[in-house]
Amino acid sequence: MKNVLVVNYSQTGQLADVTAQVIAPLAAAGHKVHLETLVPETPFPWPWSLVDFVDVFAESVQLDAPPLKPLSIPADAEFDLVILTYQVWYLSPALPIVAFLNSARAKHLLKGKPVVTLVACRNMWLTAQQTMQRLIAEAGGELRDHIAFTDNAHALATLITTPRWVLTGKRDSFLGLPPAGVSREDVRGARRFGCALADALDHDGEKTGKPMLTGLRAAPVNPRLAMSEKAGHRAFRVWSKIIRSFGKRGQWRRRPILAVFTIYLIAMVFTVVPLSLLLQWLLSPLLKPRLARLRAELELPSGAQEFNLNKYEQ
């Protein structure tokens, strides 16, 4: 029997549902799972008002996370494996998981431990995962596997359905567009990762230093989005510094610059993003070899191959 720590935070229950699917086979196989649900001292709103949604941008990008309530993990707890689940806020890991990773307690819990990351978001997790890799390494953890769940709808459709979900709480099908978020089928499919991890733990797979979730289509990457993310994150870093120079989160002094940023964000979403997708599509024959290399690199460590699907999919 192995001890597994699973860290979770979810506003709508989407990430919690995916996490539950991964945990069930681990518990069924007799492993002891401690599920730690992060609770911010001041809760983040759901659904978000437009002002709150825009106001959390600068702190999200600068990884300036407000404090969490004390964790429920027993002081003497030692874990064989740590699973960190998170969602993406503005191309960065959401503030609750950042608060956890920045804490002295996390550094103690992660030191020398194998870590699996699991993300559920709209579709842009590459930059956030690079940040997670850095924070995990700084805490002394060893990243073994990464699993990504995204909204399968077309990127342009999710630019409407995700903000609608976040700002109104409604995720149903709308204007002929598919429902927002990770599909039920994909959520159920998360079970295969729990089965594979249970199997790996039974054979001390967490001690080998190698990934445990290869061949399970863990982290498929669209390399075209990688380029947009890189450009977006660069601009986000500049904007976040400007906004913070106007005042702190929640202060009225910030409102004028938040209004300017909102106009910029909407203009970006409806002009630059579709244009850059179109440009990349037109250039795709030229970019093909570069994109293939980029994809293989970004899909590491777990990859997107499918050779183990039959073994673990039920």
Ligand X SMILES: Cc1cc2nc3c(=O)[nH]c(=O)nc-3n(C[C@H](O)[C@H](O)[C@H](O)COP(=O)(O)O)c2cc1C
Cis-peptide, bond into residue 223, ω within 30° of zero: no
Tell me how far apart the alpha carbons of residues 98 and 100 are, in angstroms, rounded to a whole number. Answer: 5
Using CB under 6 A as the binding rule, the residues of this chain from 150 to 209 that contact ligand X are: 162, 166
Give φ, ψ of 57 to 5 degrees.
Answer: -60, -55
Q: Closest CB to ligand X among 18 and 257?
A: 18
Check residue 65 for interaction with ligand X (CB under 6 A). Answer: no
Q: Which long-range contacts (CB under 8 A, 24 or more apart) does 250-258 make?
A: 250/55, 254/55, 255/51, 258/51, 258/54, 258/55
Q: Closest CB to ligand X among 92 and 214?
A: 92
Shortest Å distance, C-beta 195 to ligand X: 22
Q: Closest CB to ligand X among 109 and 121?
A: 121
For ligand X, the binding residue among 25, 55, 90, 110 (CB under 6 A) is 90
Shortest Å distance, C-beta 88 to ligand X: 4
Q: If DSSP states are collapsed to H, E and C, what string results for the chain?
A: CCEEEEEECCCCCHHHHHHHHHHHHHHHCCCEEEEEECCECCCCCCCCCHHHHHHCHHHHHCCCCCCECCCCCCCCCCCCEEEEEECEECCEECHHHHHHHHCHHHHHHHCCCEEEEEEEECCCCHHHHHHHHHHHHHCCCEEEEEEEEECCCCHHHHHHHHHHHHHHCCCCCECCECCCCCCHHHHHHCHHHHHHHHHHHHCCHHHCCCCCCCCCCCCCCCHHHHHHHHHHHHHHHHHHHHHHHHCCCCCHHHHHHHHHHHHHHHHHHHHHHHHHHHHHHHHHHHHHHHHHHHHHHHCCCCCCCCCCHHHHCC
Q: Which stretch binds ligand X (CB under 6 A): 5-13, 194-202, 250-258, 273-281?
A: 5-13
Check residue 12 for interaction with ligand X (CB under 6 A). Answer: yes
For residue 36, list its beta bridge partners: 7
Q: Which stretch binds ligand X (CB under 6 A): 66-74, 82-90, 238-246, 273-281?
A: 82-90
Q: Closest CB to ligand X among 122 and 191?
A: 122
Q: Closest CB to ligand X among 90 and 193?
A: 90
Using CB under 6 A as the binding rule, the residues of this chain from 31 to 60 that contact ligand X are: 48, 53, 56
Shortest Å distance, C-beta 121 to ligand X: 3
For ligand X, the binding residue among 2, 6, 7, 11 (CB under 6 A) is 11
Q: Closest CB to ligand X among 89 and 100?
A: 89
For ligand X, the binding residue among 4, 5, 7, 15 (CB under 6 A) is 15
For ligand X, the binding residue among 33, 71, 82, 88 (CB under 6 A) is 88
Check residue 302 for interaction with ligand X (CB under 6 A). Answer: no
Check residue 121 for interaction with ligand X (CB under 6 A). Answer: yes
Shortest Å distance, C-beta 252 to ligand X: 20
Q: Closest CB to ligand X among 95 and 200?
A: 95
Check residue 118 for interaction with ligand X (CB under 6 A). Answer: no
Q: Site residues (CB under 6 A) for ligand X?
A: 10-12, 14-15, 48, 53, 56, 87-91, 120-124, 162, 166
